[in-house]
Amino acid sequence: MMEEQKMTLESAGATKEIIDTLKSTNKIVQEAMKELYIESLEELKEELEETKAAQQEINKFFTDYANEQMDEVEDELKALEEEEAQKNKNAMPVANKEEINVEKKNQVKNEELNLDNFLNS
């Protein structure tokens, strides 16, 4: 019986501590909520939206600038490629039909000489 009373007393003490903790926590939350008026939350929301809009405007500026720069770079690259193609076109030798015929004749003569040398040896 003494043990039961001791446990009951301890349980009551623990329950009182829990209730006291809940009461003090509730008071702290109520104090905190007094500072969080709806108007101040709406003001904070508007400020956040303004900040977000400003950031989006900055991002758009840099995106547009980068796109403009990319267009200029692509145009410059295209011009350089065309210039290089023109240089290559101008630098390519044009074969003369007479030169080709002379080379073929020389090659045929060399083959005939080689064949004659082979047959005569």
Q: In the structure, what pLDDT confidence band is assigned to residue 95 with cuts at 50, 70 and 90? A: low
51-94 pLDDT, tens digit per residue, is 999 999 999 999 999 988 898 889 899 999 998 888 877 765 65
* CA gap 99, 84 in Å, rounded: 28
| Percent of the chain whose pLDDT exceeds 70 | 93
Q: Identify the residue with better confidence: 30 or 100.
A: 30
| Residue 16 tokens, joined | 């009182």
Question: What is the distance of C-alpha 113 from the center of its chain?
Answer: 70
Query: What is the residue-averaged pLDDT of the chain?
Result: 85
